[in-house]
Amino acid sequence: MEKKVYSVDGKELRTINLDDAVFGLPVNEDVIYYAINNELANKRVGTACTKDRSEVHGSNAKPYRQKGTGRARRGDKKSPLTRGGGVIFGPKPRDFSFTLPKKVKRLAMKSILSLKAQEDRLTIIEDFTIASGKTKELAVILNRFAKDERTVLVLKDDDAMLKRAGRNLPKLSYLAYNRLRAHDLFYGRKIIMLESAAKQLADFYAVKNDEEEAK
């Protein structure tokens, strides 16, 4: 697959051949769903906690006699039917996270990248950095490719100054090529990828595939 490479000024520079094994696959909606669901589940804290009748503080004494009062039978004040009593089947602390197979994760990322390429929401630009770390400079560049859209910037490495510049842009997410997130990629309206990141991304997944075949 051929894509145009743009300068930070928005001018067309050249074309680049993207690996069809990463950017030209049929979109697998199932694995995309699994990957996004896995990421959201792993973020859940799971600290919600309620007390049942055995944990509520109070007396175990029967509030009144069983018969002769005309009222309903009542065991103690901690009953879930009483105000201030325990909670029936309430939530307890739990771990919502689960492990997704590596092959499924990689296929999900490649499916999302292929989907964005097919929808023409993937833009390749030349490598750049923001030496000053100023948000204004990065915003000028991004506005040439994405107009007030939810944008994902895929970096070639952990560029601290570039991340600092994008820290105050509410609709911008930045990801390293080897630490992609399915949720951000899928819901990003525009994917802006550095040229080196596009090449490294193809090599990164190619190495993984070779390892799988070797096993």
- Please tell me whether residue 165 adopts helix, strand or coil conformation: helix
Query: What pLDDT does residue 207 have?
Result: 53
pTM of the model: 0.81
pLDDT tens per residue across all 215 residues of the chain: 888 999 988 888 889 888 888 998 999 999 999 999 999 999 999 999 999 999 999 888 998 999 999 999 888 989 998 888 999 999 999 999 999 999 999 999 999 999 999 998 999 999 888 888 899 999 999 988 988 889 999 998 888 888 898 888 988 998 998 899 999 999 999 999 999 998 888 888 865 444 443 33
Q: At 17, list the tokens.
A: 């051949």
Distance CA 20, CA 96 (A): 35
Please return the burial class of 18, using the count of CB atoms within 10 Å of its CB with bins 0-12, 13-18 and 19+: buried
Asked if 165 contacts 137 with a C-beta cutoff of 8 angstroms, the reply is yes
- Can you give the residue ranges of every domain in the chain? 2-29+101-214, 45-95
Q: What kind of fold does domain 2-29+101-214 have according to CATH?
A: Ribosomal Protein L4; Chain: A; (3.40.1370)
Q: In the chain, which residue ranges form alpha helices assigned H by DSSP?
A: 20-23, 29-43, 102-118, 135-143, 160-166, 182-187, 195-214
